[in-house]
């Protein structure tokens, strides 16, 4: 029988780094966690008049960290998202003065005045599966498909580091990829005893690249199954769905995020399929897909993906995804 742990954090329980915190709870591999996450504004932006730089002290709180019993460096943590449901019937987005891909930033520094800070409020209709955009300078509205995801999922980094939850890197973190949906399994290499995973930054949906720097931010109800693959290491975050294997790179410039993700997918494909390395490179070159997660965070992210149908008979991580998928279905 599956053990289901419920954890309902208060605002002061949330943290802003991966690493540097004591665990809020222990969880056993095979268990399921039911919890919630705040939005990237800590819930402080509720109307179009709530400018984030005025009403927020910090950004991107996460729920955690959770200590996974038995996790050691060299293992792989598997998190399978059974359910992601927006906790509110609204979501917020914004432009920031020095954040986003089409503005100068603190590192892509220019002498121009920054973009206007502006807030948009979306309606979220969970039953209709719709996120409704409202223009600010006209009456236009557009209905977009609801597509809930978590922007920030990761473990404590290696080397004693503590990294801001704004940052994605090899430990995961602010990956900001729309591929982290319900029904997927994400894998992380474990760097510290207990893995110390945390989750947050729910999006009702986001475009690929998150070009303005902010998705449709919303609090999220999360049901996630936790598993551990002992003695198997994972260099960069990977995602498995029913159809696809994906590797994620996080770096600047963006071509390095691409290189990391493709390199990891090629070597992973070679490992799983028995194809020689350049043969795997060739296959991924013709069969693979790729897209940006974010092109706005301190590291950009891209994923590389291949259809499992092109790799018949291949089983990743000892079948963890299928096992967790079945577990998730059994709980519905």
Question: Would you count residue 126 as binding a second copy (CB under 8 A)?
Answer: no
Interface residue with a second copy, options 153, 251, 272, 324 (CB under 8 A): 251
Query: 320: burial class by Cβ within 10 Å (0-12, 13-18, 19+)?
Result: buried
Closest to a second copy by CB, 184 or 206? 206
Candidates 1-9, 77-85, 104-112, 194-202: pick the segment binding a second copy (CB under 8 A): 104-112
Bond preceding residue 65 cis, omega within 30 of 0: yes
Q: How far apart are CA 205 and CA 207, in angstroms?
A: 7
Interface residue with a second copy, options 9, 16, 149, 151 (CB under 8 A): 16
Closest to a second copy by CB, 6 or 106? 106
Question: Would you count residue 244 as binding a second copy (CB under 8 A)?
Answer: no
Is residue 210 a contact partner of residue 19, using CB atoms and an 8 Å limit?
Answer: no
Contact track, a second copy, 191-230, x by CB under 8 A: --------------xxxxxxxxxxxx--------------
Question: Would you count residue 13 as binding a second copy (CB under 8 A)?
Answer: no
| SS3 state at 167 | coil
Residues forming a β-bridge with 229: 76
Candidates 68-76, 77-85, 188-196, 281-289: pick the segment binding a second copy (CB under 8 A): 281-289
| SS3 state at 27 | strand
Question: Would you count residue 58 as binding a second copy (CB under 8 A)?
Answer: yes
Candidates 25-33, 35-43, 101-109, 180-188: pick the segment binding a second copy (CB under 8 A): 101-109
How many chain residues are in contact with a second copy, going by CB under 8 A?
A: 91
Closest to a second copy by CB, 95 or 184? 95
User: 């300078």: which residue's tokens?
Assistant: 137
Interface residue with a second copy, options 24, 254, 314, 327 (CB under 8 A): 254
Interface residue with a second copy, options 241, 273, 318, 322 (CB under 8 A): 273
* Least Å from the CB of residue 278 to a second copy: 6
Q: 249-271 burial by CB neighbour count: b if 16+ within 10 A, else e?
A: bbbeebeebbebbbbbbbbbbbe
Residues 6+ apart with CB under 8 A from 22: none
Candidates 38-46, 61-69, 270-278, 322-330: pick the segment binding a second copy (CB under 8 A): 270-278
Candidates 32-40, 139-147, 185-193, 220-228: pick the segment binding a second copy (CB under 8 A): 139-147
Q: Which of 238, 204, 208 is nearest to 317 (CA)?
A: 238
The gap from C-alpha 165 to its chain's centroid, in whole angstroms, comes to 11
Q: How far apart are CA 18 and CA 234, in angstroms?
A: 18
Residues 6+ apart with CB under 8 A from 314: 272, 273, 308
Interacting positions 20-39 with a second copy (CB under 8 A): 20
């Amino acid at each position: 029988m599956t053990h289901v742990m419920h954890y309902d954090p208060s605002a002061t329980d949330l943290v802003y780094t991966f690493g540097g915190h004591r665990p809020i709870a222990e969880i056993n591999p095979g268990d399921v966690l039911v919890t919630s996450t705040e939005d990237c504004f800590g819930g402080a932006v509720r109307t179009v008049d709530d400018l984030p730089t005025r009403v927020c002290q910090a950004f991107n709180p996460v729920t955690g960290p959770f200590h996974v019993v038995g996790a050691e460096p060299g293992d792989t943590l598997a998190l399978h998202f059974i359910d992601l449901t927006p906790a509110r019937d609204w979501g917020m987005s914004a432009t920031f003065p020095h954040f986003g891909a089409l503005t100068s930033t603190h590192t892509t520094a220019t002498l121009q005045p920054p973009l206007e800070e502006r807030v948009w409020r979306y309606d979220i209709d969970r039953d209709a599966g719709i996120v409704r955009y409202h223009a600010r300078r006209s009456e236009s509205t557009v209905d977009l498909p609801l597509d809930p995801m978590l922007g920030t999922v990761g473990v404590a980094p290696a080397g004693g580091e503590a990294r801001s939850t704004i940052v994605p890197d090899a430990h995961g973190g602010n990956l900001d990829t729309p591929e982290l949906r319900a029904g997927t399994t994400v894998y992380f290499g474990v760097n510290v005893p207990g893995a110390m995973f945390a989750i947050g930054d729910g999006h009702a949906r986001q475009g690929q690249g998150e070009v303005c720097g902010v998705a449709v931010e919303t609090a999220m109800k999360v049901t996630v199954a936790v598993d551990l693959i002992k003695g198997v290491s994972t260099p960069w975050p990977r995602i498995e769905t029913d159809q696809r294997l994906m590797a994620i790179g996080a770096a600047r410039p963006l071509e390095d995020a691409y290189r990391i993700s493709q390199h990891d997918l090629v070597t992973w494909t070679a490992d799983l399929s028995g194809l020689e390395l350049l043969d795997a490179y060739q296959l991924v070159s013709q069969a693979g897909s790729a897209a940006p997660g974010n092109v706005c965070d301190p590291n950009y992210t891209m994923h590389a993906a291949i259809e499992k149908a092109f790799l018949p008979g291949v089983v990743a991580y000892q079948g963890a995804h299928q096992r967790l998928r079945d577990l998730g279905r059994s709980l519905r």
